[in-house]
Amino acid sequence: MASVTIQGVSKRYPNGTEAVKNFSLDIRDGEFVVIVGPSGCGKSTILRMVAGLEEITQGDLYIDSCRMNNVAAKDRNISMVFQNYALLPHLNVFDNIAFGLKIRKTPKAERKQKVLDAARMLGIEHLLKYPLGQLSGGERQRVAMGRAIVRDPAVFLMDEPLSNLDAKLRTQMRAELTQLHQRLGTTFIYVTHDQTEAMTMGERIVVMDNGVIQQVGTPEEVYNCPSNRFVAGFIGTPPMNFFRTEQDGAACTAGVRPEHIQLCGANTPGARPAKVDLVEFLGAEKLVYLNMSGETIIMKTAADTQIAPKQAVFISWNETHMHIYQT
User: Residue 83: how many CB atoms within 10 A of its CB?
Assistant: 18
CA separation, residue 60 to residues 70, 245, 268 (Å): 10, 43, 56
By CB under 6 A, the count of residues binding ligand ADP is 12
As separate numbers, helices (DSSP H) first and strands (DSSP E) second, the chain gives 8, 18
Phi-psi region of 12 (alpha: psi -120 to 50; beta: other; left: phi over 0): beta
Site mask for ligand ADP (CB under 6 A), range 98-117, x = bound: --------------------
Judged by beta carbon, residue 18 or residue 95, the one nearer ligand ADP is: 18
The least CB distance from residue 159 to ligand ADP, in Å, is 7
Judged by beta carbon, residue 15 or residue 70, the one nearer ligand ADP is: 15
The least CB distance from residue 20 to ligand ADP, in Å, is 7
Site mask for ligand ADP (CB under 6 A), range 15-54, x = bound: x-x-x-----------------x-xxxxxxx---------
Judged by beta carbon, residue 56 or residue 121, the one nearer ligand ADP is: 56
Judged by beta carbon, residue 124 or residue 205, the one nearer ligand ADP is: 205
Judged by beta carbon, residue 15 or residue 320, the one nearer ligand ADP is: 15
Instruction: Kindly indicate which of the ranges 12-20, 82-90, 105-113, 267-275 contains the residues binding ligand ADP, using the contact rule CB under 6 A.
Output: 12-20
DSSP-derived pairing of the beta strands 187-192 and 32-36: parallel
DSSP character at residue 304: T
CA 185 – CA 29 distance, rounded (Å): 9
Judged by beta carbon, residue 15 or residue 306, the one nearer ligand ADP is: 15
The least CB distance from residue 231 to ligand ADP, in Å, is 16
Count how many residues are written for the chain: 327
- 153-178 burial: b if 16+ Cβ within 10 Å, else e: bbbbbbbbbbeebeeebbeebbebbb
Instruction: Kindly indicate which of the ranges 11-19, 96-104, 124-132, 247-255 contains the residues binding ligand ADP, using the contact rule CB under 6 A.
Output: 11-19
Region 174-213 residues binding ligand ADP, contact defined as CB under 6 A: none
Alpha helix (H) ranges present in 205-315? 219-224, 229-234
Contact 226, 209 (CB under 8 A): no
Judged by beta carbon, residue 216 or residue 297, the one nearer ligand ADP is: 216
Contact 127, 139 (CB under 8 A): yes
Strand partners, 196: none
The least CB distance from residue 124 to ligand ADP, in Å, is 28
The residues that touch ligand ADP, with contacts defined as CB under 6 A, are 13, 15, 17, 19, 37, 39-45
